[in-house]
Amino acid sequence: MIKMVVVEKTYKGGIHALNGISVEMEKGEFVFIVGPSGSGKSTFMKLLTKEEEPTAGEIYVAGKNLANLPRWRVPYLRRNVGSVFQDFKLLPNKTVFENVAFALEVIGRPKSVVRRQVPQILELVGLGEKLDRFPDELSGGEQQRVSIARAFVNRPLILVADEPTGNLDPATSVGIMRLLDRINRTGTTVVMATHDHAIVDSMRRRVIELEGGNVVRDQSRGIYGVGT
Amino acid sequence: MRANYFLSETVTNLKRNVLMTVAAISTVAISLLLLGGVRILDLTINNVTSRWEAKVEISTFLRDDIAPDETQDLESDLANMNEVQSITYVSKEEAFEEFKELYADHPEFYETLPKDSLPASLRIKLTDADYTQLVAARIRGAPGVDSVNFGGDIIKRLLQVNSLLRTITLAMSVILLVAAAALIANTIRLAIYARRDEIGIMKLVGATNWFIRIPFMLEGVFAAMVGALVSGLVVLLSNEFLFSRVGNFLQFLGPVFEFSTSEILWVLALLILVGAGIGIVGSMLALRRFLEV
């Protein structure tokens, strides 16, 4: 589903974010990307949606070599890769329903599909009763659920989550993780960058640890840190 | 549903910065109005020159000692030229009669003149005033021809004034058109800035670039078209109410301010086409670099 072959990324100004990493992820895997700030986690995530391009190496996502993907095809890649962020990125002037519906409308899905799928997915994330609320009327955890609903409403093959629990308290985070786990069980590959020890340790899923732009550990059913 | 979406997005954008939109629309209208003015000026000058050109003739004065067959030869030579429309022979007596008519108020001018003092001449009308120099040069050296006269200078002067006016107005209108395109680009940039969060999410969830662009492009084209319609309306109203009055005032020039419906429609078509062009160029300017990620 995802394959990186000796991928390097050097930003303008000479900062080396990734130093030739190679990883492979199968369909339906749940993978944590862990490591301290500046280890290359965010760069890793951005490469998957072609928000950034590698300086060297090859990246395959959902069967496509991203290097050969022309710019105009990038939107179609992103329809297969849902994104969730630490800061939710919801539109404050739209209701919960509208925020999720927006994701379908702008890729040209017909109204009938929007009307059917949006309530369904909001039910799934546990917000079936709050369709007409605005984001600032919701708790942080609820907002993140809306953002996950938006990323998943189009049934992408891959869900990419960059620190989705970074702004949430531990109890709320558990709820979010249950949700991501449920999504993973539908066969969706989930890639989640985090530095939340408790979460990684409790989930016991594959862990890829980055440090200084290198993969220093790749362990199935791993915990956050070997030594900690 | 797509058309609906694009339409409502466009209207939202236009409402969001009314002031910029109004500025863009009026700049388009003014610059197109100048362009329309250039066209109307052209049409007017055409009317004037074609009237004047119709009056242009070459007077070929014949020597008193010209032999009758030389006159014949000259006439038939001229008749064979494609550029020549008609030839009229004016005898010495006819020339004197015309002179008398012209100076009817001043009998002292002609009373003292012998009746045969004016030369006979051939008056040549041409198919097109542009050939004046050419034909005049051909006749000049012919046997029996004393001198050749034509009134081409006035027309030349008129055309020069016209081309100067034209250049100035055209330059002004081009400058304003560029300003209009820039204003439209700016309006759209503001609209994009106001909606940058939404655009970010649209890109995130895989909206195509064209899908994101179209509402903004429509906005630019819409503003330009409204400007074009305003300028077109002014031209139409001027044609209806203003030109006839100016024409009355300048009656001595003849009906130079009367334009056919098709001439006016062509002016309108020009304005709307150029307007749409400005809208598209302005939108492209604004959108060129905003979808890089």
> In this predicted complex, what is the ipTM?
0.86
Please give the average per-residue pLDDT across B216-222, as a whole number: 86
Domain shared by B124 and B19, yes or no = no
Helices (H), chain A: 41-48, 74-78, 96-105, 111-124, 140-152, 170-185, 197-203
Greater model confidence, A192 or B174: A192
% chain B with pLDDT above 90: 1
At which of B105, B134, B150 does a domain end?
A: B150
Dist CA A76 CA B180 (whole Å):
36
* Predicted pLDDT at B107: 79
Interface of B with A (CB under 8 A): 1-2, 5, 197-198, 200-209, 211-212, 293
* Predicted pLDDT at A153: 95
Contact A154 B208 (CB under 8 A): no
Dist CA A220 CA A30 (whole Å):
10
* Predicted pLDDT at B9: 76
From the CA of B293, how many Å to the nearest CA of chain A?
6
B291, pLDDT greater than 60:
no
Domain shared by B161 and B280, yes or no = yes
Domain shared by B171 and B282, yes or no = yes
B93-123: per-residue pLDDT in tens? Answer: 888 888 888 787 777 777 777 777 788 888 8
Domain shared by B81 and B195, yes or no = no
B136-150: per-residue pLDDT in tens? Answer: 877 877 777 888 877
Domain shared by B64 and B38, yes or no = no
Per-residue b or e along A168-184, where b marks 16 or more CB atoms closer than 10 Å to that residue's CB: beeebbbbbbebbeebb
* Predicted pLDDT at B89: 85
Domain shared by B177 and B233, yes or no = yes
The domain in which residue B252 lies consists of 2-52+155-290
A110-167: per-residue pLDDT in tens? Answer: 999 999 999 999 999 999 999 999 999 999 999 999 999 999 999 999 999 999 999 9
Q: How many CB pairs below 8 Å do chains A and B form together?
A: 54
Find, among B127, B118, B126, B109, the residue nearest to B147 by Cα: B118
* Predicted pLDDT at B292: 53
Maximum mean pLDDT: which of A43-52, B124-133, B207-216: A43-52
B24, pLDDT greater than 50:
yes
Dist CA B293 CA A198 (whole Å):
34
Q: Name residue A33's beta-bridge partners.
A: A193, A208
* Predicted pLDDT at B223: 86
A108, pLDDT greater than 60:
yes
Domain shared by B11 and B134, yes or no = no
At which of B150, B171, B203 does a domain end?
A: B150
Which chain A residue's Cα is nearest to B210?
Answer: A72
A47, A58 contact by CB (below 8 A)? no
Please give the average per-residue pLDDT across B62-82, as a whole number: 81
Please give the average per-residue pLDDT across B75-82, as a whole number: 82
The encoded tokens of residue B89 equal: 């022979």
Contacts of B146 (CB under 8 A, 6+ apart): B61, B62, B63, B119
Greater model confidence, B238 or A199: A199
A190 touches chain B (CB under 8 A): no
At which of B120, B150, B180 does a domain end?
A: B150
- In this prediction, residue B153 has a pLDDT band, given cuts at 50, 70 and 90, of low
Contact A106 B202 (CB under 8 A): yes
Average pLDDT value over all residues in chain B: 80
- In this prediction, residue A228 has a pLDDT band, given cuts at 50, 70 and 90, of very low
- In this prediction, residue A214 has a pLDDT band, given cuts at 50, 70 and 90, of very high
Dist CA A180 CA A161 (whole Å):
9
Dist CA B162 CA A124 (whole Å):
76
* Predicted pLDDT at B61: 85
B218, B12 contact by CB (below 8 A)? no
Domain total in chain B: 2
* Predicted pLDDT at B236: 84
Contact A108 B200 (CB under 8 A): no
Which chain A residue's Cα is nearest to B208?
Answer: A75
% chain B with pLDDT above 70: 89
% chain A with pLDDT above 90: 86
Domain shared by B172 and B272, yes or no = yes
Please give the average per-residue pLDDT across B171-196, as a whole number: 82
**pTM of this structure:** 0.69
Alpha-carbon distances of B82 from A108, B58, B85, B87, rounded to whole Å: 67, 15, 8, 13
A61, pLDDT greater than 90:
yes
Domain shared by B20 and B112, yes or no = no
- In this prediction, residue B15 has a pLDDT band, given cuts at 50, 70 and 90, of confident
Domain shared by B107 and B16, yes or no = no
Interface test with B, best of A52, A73, A106 (most B CBs within 10 A): A106
**By 3-state DSSP, what share of chain B in percent is helix, strand and coil, each rounded to 5?**
75, 10, 15
> What are the φ and ψ backbone dihedral angles of A60, each rounded to 5 degrees?
-115, 130
B260, B268 contact by CB (below 8 A)? no
Maximum mean pLDDT: which of A37-51, B70-84, B206-220: A37-51
Alpha-carbon distances of B101 from A182, B104, B112, B266, B281, rounded to whole Å: 111, 5, 15, 45, 63
B293, pLDDT greater than 50:
no
% chain A with pLDDT above 70: 99
A171, pLDDT greater than 80:
yes
A53 touches chain B (CB under 8 A): no
A103 touches chain B (CB under 8 A): yes
A91, A99 contact by CB (below 8 A)? yes
Residue numbers in A near B211 (CB within 8 A): 106-108
CA angle centred on B192, ends B191 and B197, rounded to 5°: 120
* Predicted pLDDT at B151: 65
Dist CA B92 CA A109 (whole Å):
92
Maximum mean pLDDT: which of A25-34, B25-34, B176-185, B230-239: A25-34
Maximum mean pLDDT: which of A196-200, B183-187, B217-221: A196-200
Q: Which of A64-68, A211-215, B66-70 has the lowest mean pLDDT?
A: B66-70
Domain shared by B65 and B193, yes or no = no
Contact B209 A91 (CB under 8 A): no
Domain shared by B111 and B216, yes or no = no
